[in-house]
Amino acid sequence: MHFEIGMKTDEPHGYLALKTRVWHNTKSMDAKTFFRELKRRNVYKVAAAYAVIAWLLIEVASVWLHINEARTSVIKVLAVLLALGFVVALFISWAFEATPQGG
pLDDT tens readout for residues 35-78: 888 888 888 899 999 999 999 999 999 999 888 887 888 889 99
Give mean pLDDT, residues 6-15. Answer: 52
What pLDDT, on a 0 to 100 scale, did the predictor assign at position 6? 47
Residue spans of the domains in the chain: they are: 42-103
Q: Is the alpha carbon torsion for 44, 49, 52, 53 positive or negative?
A: negative
- Say if residue 86 is exposed, middle or buried (CB neighbours under 10 Å; 0-12, 13-18, 19+): middle
Between these two residues, 14 and 87, which has the higher pLDDT value?
A: 87
H-helix segments, the chain: 15-22, 31-40, 43-67, 73-96
- Judge whether residue 7 has pLDDT over 80: no
Instruction: Report yes or no: 92 and 43 within 8 Å, Cβ to Cβ.
Output: no
Average pLDDT over residues 3-24: 51
Higher-confidence residue: 7 or 45?
45
Under 8 Å between Cβ of 41 and 94: yes
The predicted model gives 86-94 an average pLDDT of: 91
Percent of the chain exceeding pLDDT 90 equals: 30
